[in-house]
Structure 1
Amino acid sequence: MKPYLLVYVVLTMLISCKSSKKIYKRDATANEISASTHGQKETERESFKDIKPQKREAKASKSIEKNIIDYAKQFEGVRYKWGGTTEAGMDCSGLIYESFKTYEIVLPRISRDMAKKGKKISLRKVNRGDLLFFKTGNRRNSINHVGLIVAIKNNDIEFIHATSSKGVIISKLNEAYWQKAFFEARRIL
Structure 2
Amino acid sequence: MNKIVLLLILATLMSCGSSKSKRVVTTKSESEVISQITNKPARRGPARKTTTTTSRNTETGHNTEDNQNIEVIPISSPLIANIINTAKSYEGVRYKYGGTTKKGMDCSGLIFTAFQSEDISLPRSSSAMATHGDWIDVKEVKEGDLLFFATKRNSRTINHVGLVTSSRLGRVEFIHASTSKGVMTSLLSERYWYFAFVQARRIL
TM-score w.r.t. length of structure 1: 0.67
Do the aligned residues in 2 keep the contact of 1:140 with 1:181 (CA within 8 Å)?
A: no
* Post-superposition CA distance 1:116-138 (Å, at most 9, x none): 00000001211100000000123
Q: Percent of pairs identical after alignment?
A: 52
1:148 aligns with 2:163: yes
Partner of 2:172: 157
2:150 to 96, 115, 135: 135
Deviations 1:7-66 (A, max 9, x none): xxxxxxxxxxxxxxxxxxxxxxxxxx98x8377xxxxxxxxxxxxxxxxxxxxx961111
- Larger relative contact order, structure 1 or 2 (CA cutoff 8 Å, min sep 6): 1
More strand by share: 2
1:119 counterpart (126, 134, 152) = 134
State which of 61, 64, 71 in structure 2 corresponds to 1:37: 61
State the 4+ residue runs in structure 1 displaced beyond 4 angstroms: none
Deviation at 1:154, TM superposition (A): 3.8
5+ long unaligned stretches in structure 1: 1-32, 40-60
1:185 alignment counterpart: 200
Q: How many residues are matched?
A: 135
Shift of 1:106: 0.3
Q: Distance in 2 between matches of 1:140 and 1:161?
A: 20
Shift, 1:139, TM fit: 6.4
Over residues 124-170 of structure 1, what are the superposed CA-to-partner deviations in whole Å (9 max), with x where a residue is unaligned?
21110000000012362310000000002341100000010000000
Q: Does 1:167 align with 2:182?
A: yes
What's the C-alpha RMSD, in Å, of the aligned pairs?
2.0
